[in-house]
Chains A and B, each alone.
Chain A
């Protein structure tokens, strides 16, 4: 891997930009096209390109598999938790008005932000988990068997 100098330098430059872009898509998602799904995939692409260039082992040190698995569930819990909060506040499930009872419009705004954060976390983690699952599968058969 040492000799792929250009690849390594470019990747190092790119990964940060990719993450920044993911965060932009994530948090600007309620004004313009974007949101958790897209941002999650972009974010995961950052990790995957790092893994492709610097080997799976390195990216697993940065983003350990156990954390990936917890984040998958955590994102779902954030989403569902928003809904449960509005249940407890006496509103319908996922009625974002519960988040700001005196300014329901603001409530909608906060609600979509939190929910999309949950989506973003889960999608990032799922995409990375899929990559880990396939990439870390050691080939048991030799190439001739294909």
Chain B
């Protein structure tokens, strides 16, 4: 800011943490391309992702008490300049995204080598980092238009990453194309919404938007903006009727990429939905328009049952897990629909727990694909004996998916049922338990195939390599750890829920 900068006080490294969170993977991506070395690509990607993870931990520790950090890009103060704003809600998601990325990268090395021709791997790591940059940027930024830019950075790299699956199955190409068309429509709807907000308020900074929307929430422009933004983000979230891109994309993408996307991409979209619903549009505004009861609640229930039932009848483990993801997103939406602190807390914690659970499950699938040649149930017959470690990790993660006590999944289901009872919606609580039973069926089918069937004699699968087993077990143990010691996740999601429900006052 031109003139007064003459008396400039130097910022320290700690002040720069919010920008470094995004900047490190962002700079590492072109660095990989410039160096162009296949040997260096993976180490650079891993170091960048690990640094992001460390920074995310530091940021989370700073904001756990409910405070927030604001970083002004270019020294221009908001609302004029772009602001990065870290509070408990997004620090928690940053922690999840960078953590999953860091655990998956060591795993990805062996998995991608088997599924992708070697000449593509260098650029693949650059794209992976760009995708990570986009996801982290969406979460950390406090500027509405900036969300769109980062969203597209992550989406465009995601389309390419999914299309890389075409080396194994050509259907990855059509999956990527369908996702591109639907994702672009979603993102464009989102921009239309932002445009309407800008027309009505003349600002793009989220905190500033919140203030100005609060005084004119009757405006039809703002209501239209709300509708466009919810539908646009809903496409990215894969809310039940808008989920059509997800099963194919997850099934045909390379295994490591599926694990990464399943653990992060939809979670980030859920975060954007929460951020816009509660921080930009106020909780009061959301209560005024009957979106929650009329749209979010029924579709959440539909997802929980419809997608779970579809999952039961799948023959491909990877596709089954993709449908189960849609069902689990239903739980997160349900938490939002309760419109209470307990509900939002359940959403935040389910977001985190499902992220690690699904990442673990898809990593296991990748190991099966590598050793057994496919993820159809008939490929998995008897693998419990020949791949005991991978199978055991899959069982742990599967139990977390169902929500068996002692696993991370239990904590989130428990909170969700509690939130339902608090709201006095006991039929919903029963439905939550009932849909968990559906999860028991499809997870049991996996366990049955792994342990209770004979393997084909001619196909003796070997144990997965250590570089894949260790990350898989880190994720599986995280499922147990966060199920037994839920202090960190509970306090982070509680602070996040409080901040979100406080609306714009929570952003001051």
- In angstroms, Cα B72 to Cα A87, docked, is 12
B12 CB contacts on chain A under 8 angstroms: 90
Query: Is there a chain A Cβ closer than 8 Å to B470's Cβ?
Result: no
Contact with A along B9-20 (1 / 0, CB 8 A): 011100010011
Binding stretch for chain B, among A5-13, A27-35, A77-85: A77-85
The answer to whether A97 and B75 touch across the interface, beta carbons within 8 angstroms, is yes
> Known: A74-B30, A92-B71. Contact between A97 and B11, CB under 8 A?
no
28 contacts between A and B (CB under 8 A): A69-B36, A70-B33, A73-B33, A73-B34, A73-B126, A74-B30, A77-B27, A77-B30, A77-B34, A80-B23, A80-B26, A80-B30, A83-B19, A83-B23, A84-B27, A87-B16, A90-B11, A90-B12, A91-B11, A94-B73, A94-B74, A95-B5, A96-B74, A97-B1, A97-B2, A97-B8, A101-B8, A108-B2
The 7 lowest CB-CB distance pairs between A and B, nearest first, are: A90-B10, A73-B30, A95-B75, A73-B33, A92-B75, A94-B74, A76-B30
Chain B residues lying within 8 Å of A93, measured Cβ to Cβ, are 16, 19, 23, 71, 73-74
Given A73-B31, A104-B2: A87 in contact with B75 (beta carbons within 8 A) = no
Quick check: B75 and A91 within 8 Å, CB to CB? yes
Known: A92-B11, A97-B8. A80 touches B71 (CB 8 A): no
Of residues 83 to 113 in A, which have CB atoms within 8 Å of B's CB atoms? 83-84, 87, 89-97, 101-102, 104-105, 108
B residues contacting the other copy or chain, number (CB 8 A): 28
B residues neighboring A (CB under 8 Å): 1-3, 5-6, 8, 10-12, 16, 19-20, 23, 26-27, 29-34, 36, 71-75, 126
Tell me the complex Cα distance, A102–B71, Å. 23
> A: which residues have CB within 8 A of B?
66, 69-70, 72-74, 76-77, 80, 83-84, 87, 89-97, 101-102, 104-105, 108
A102 adjacent to B31 (CB under 8 Å): no
Is the CB–CB distance between B34 and A92 below 8 Å?
no
> Interface of chain A, helix or strand or loop or mixed?
helix
A94: chain B residues at CB < 8 Å are 73-74
Chain A neighbourhood of B5, CB < 8 A: 91, 95, 97, 101, 104
Nearest-Cβ distance from residue A85 to partner chain B, whole angstroms: 12
Contact between A72 and B33, CB atoms less than 8 A apart: yes
Q: Are B36 and A70 in contact (CB under 8 A)?
A: yes
B205 CB to nearest chain A CB (Å): 16
Contacts of A108 in B (CB 8 A): 2
Q: Which residues of A contact B33 (CB under 8 A)?
A: 69-70, 72-73
A93 to B26, CA, bound (A): 13
**Chain B: minimal CB distance from A41 (Å):** 19
Q: Give the distance in Å from the alpha carbon of A80 to the alpha carbon of B26 in the complex.
A: 8
- Expressed in whole angstroms, the Cα–Cα distance for A91 and B1 within the complex equals 11
Closest Cβ–Cβ distance, residue A105 to chain B (whole Å): 6
Query: Which residues of chain A come closer than 8 Å to B126, judged between CB atoms?
Result: 73
Q: What is the CB-to-nearest-CB distance from A94 to chain B, in angstroms, rounded to a whole number?
A: 4
B16 proximity list for chain A (CB < 8 A): 87, 93
